[in-house]
Structure 1
Amino acid sequence: MTRTRREILGTGGGLAAFLSLFPLAAWASAVVDIRMQGSGDGSHVWFDPIGILIKPGQTVRWINLDSGNSHTTTAYNPANFHRPRRMPEAAKPWDSDYLLPSESFSVTFTEQGVYDYYCIPHEHAGMVGRIVVGEPQAHEWTELAGANGGLPEEALRAFPAVEDIMAKEIVRRHDYQQQGEP
């Protein structure tokens, strides 16, 4: 079969259009790191960043950089120790188990919405975080306020506002640091 010049150029144009989408696809698949950290004397522990905005399909990797503590990343979900649901209902909950220093754990987020998580041994110290996937509707995150039962006050105070995450894309710990913390 002989192809005309127009057919060949048309195919090449389609291929060029497809390849122009590649950087966007590569960005969406980029891994986002969240560091698990603590002060030298162990008196303060935290996730950094504490809030992030990602695209559906992106992977988040938690890395324990705290040489003095083990940590977990655990989704607020009834499947995890009967905790209140603070994530999309269709999403699969996660629990990393204890991560020793230098260990990591990853989750790929496919469902759009707001995900709250915590560190099992340090939740009472406010070691929590929030991930926003895609562009959830306001009702999807205002419903989280109804799932506060049983959460420590320190944890509730530590969550960054969804609006701040949507506006800044990354919210660092120092943006929400309590007075007197390092």
Structure 2
Amino acid sequence: MRRRVFLFGGAALLVGVAPRLVSAADGELQEIVMAGRKDGSLVWFDPPGLLIRPGTTLRWRNEDRGNSHTATAYHPDNADHPLRIPPKAPAFDSGYLLLGESYEVALTEPGVYDYYCAPHEMSGMVGRVIVAAAGADDFTDYSPAGLPPEALARLPEISDIIARGRVTAGET
């Protein structure tokens, strides 16, 4: 009798987990590292520019031993920042991530997503993700209005991200 209960329970567990495993395997995962110099004088996202397909999950992971960081969408819901993600996309904010911690979000709405690190925005810790179907390149009318000069100086150009798919730290 115990064996049947164990087998039935195990089968129920597999049935409950299987859909999650299938859906996780179906979507792509891309990682963005949060990093900085040991003395804290420079911080960055790597890559700061990334082209992904709709439905891709992004994972931001903090590898900076000296700082906590956030991955925060430019959105009015986040400290009344300007809207710099697609209008239909929900705002995201990881909260403070310590060394080794990570945050994930799936981006499904096509468009340009600009984001920043809340404590380091004025240090130019910003990034840009473009969510587009294969062959899409109609993001040329995207305005850079509303960002501090330090952030604008570190954001990769949309055309570079589209042409290369990934712009790594140091290339902006």
TM-score (norm 2): 0.81
Runs of 4+ aligned structure 1 residues displaced above 6 Å come to: none
SS at 2:66 equivalent: coil
d(CA) in 1 for partners of 2:141 and 2:128?
Answer: 14
Instruction: Kindly state the Cα deviation for residue 152 of structure 1 after the two structures are TM-superposed.
Output: 1.8
Of 57, 60, 63, 2:61 maps to 63
CA RMSD of aligned residues (A): 1.6
Structure 2 residue aligned with 1:53: 51
Of 136, 143, 152, 1:156 maps to 152
Q: Is the 8 A contact 1:114 1:141 kept in 2?
A: no
SS at 1:85 equivalent: coil
Instruction: Kindly state the Cα deviation for residue 143 of structure 1 after the two structures are TM-superposed.
Output: 3.3
Structure 1 residue aligned with 2:132: 134
Distance 1:125 1:85, change over 3 A: same
Rg larger in 1 or in 2?
1
**Unpaired runs of 5+ in structure 2?**
1-24
Q: Is the 8 A contact 1:35 1:48 kept in 2?
A: yes
SS at 2:94 equivalent: coil
Partner amino acid, structure 1, of 2:102: S
d(CA) in 2 for partners of 1:161 and 1:102?
Answer: 29
Structure 1 residue aligned with 2:7: none
d(CA) in 2 for partners of 1:83 and 1:141?
Answer: 22
Q: How many residues end up aligned between the 2 structures?
A: 147
Instruction: Kindly state the Cα deviation for residue 137 of structure 1 after the two structures are TM-superposed.
Output: 5.4
SS at 1:59 equivalent: strand
The residue correspondences of 1:10-29 to structure 2 (distance < 5 A) are: 29=27
Instruction: Kindly state the Cα deviation for residue 171 of structure 1 after the two structures are TM-superposed.
Output: 0.3
SS at 1:173 equivalent: coil
Structure 2 residue aligned with 1:17: none
SS at 1:129 equivalent: strand
Higher helix content, 1 or 2:
1
d(CA) in 2 for partners of 1:144 and 1:69?
Answer: 31
Matched, 1:166 2:165: no
d(CA) in 2 for partners of 1:143 and 1:164?
Answer: 14
d(CA) in 2 for partners of 1:158 and 1:102?
Answer: 24
SS at 2:121 equivalent: helix
Q: Is the 8 A contact 2:50 2:161 kept in 1?
A: yes
Structure 2 residue aligned with 1:10: none
Superposed CA offset, 1:121-140 (max 9, x none)? 000000000000015553x4
d(CA) in 1 for partners of 2:168 and 2:67?
Answer: 21
Instruction: Kindly state the Cα deviation for residue 40 of structure 1 after the two structures are TM-superposed.
Output: 1.1
d(CA) in 2 for partners of 1:126 and 1:62?
Answer: 17
Instruction: Kindly state the Cα deviation for residue 142 of structure 1 after the two structures are TM-superposed.
Output: 2.4
The residue correspondences of 1:27-176 to structure 2 (distance < 5 A) are: 29-135=27-133, 138=138, 140=139, 142-145=141-144, 148-149=145-146, 151-176=147-172
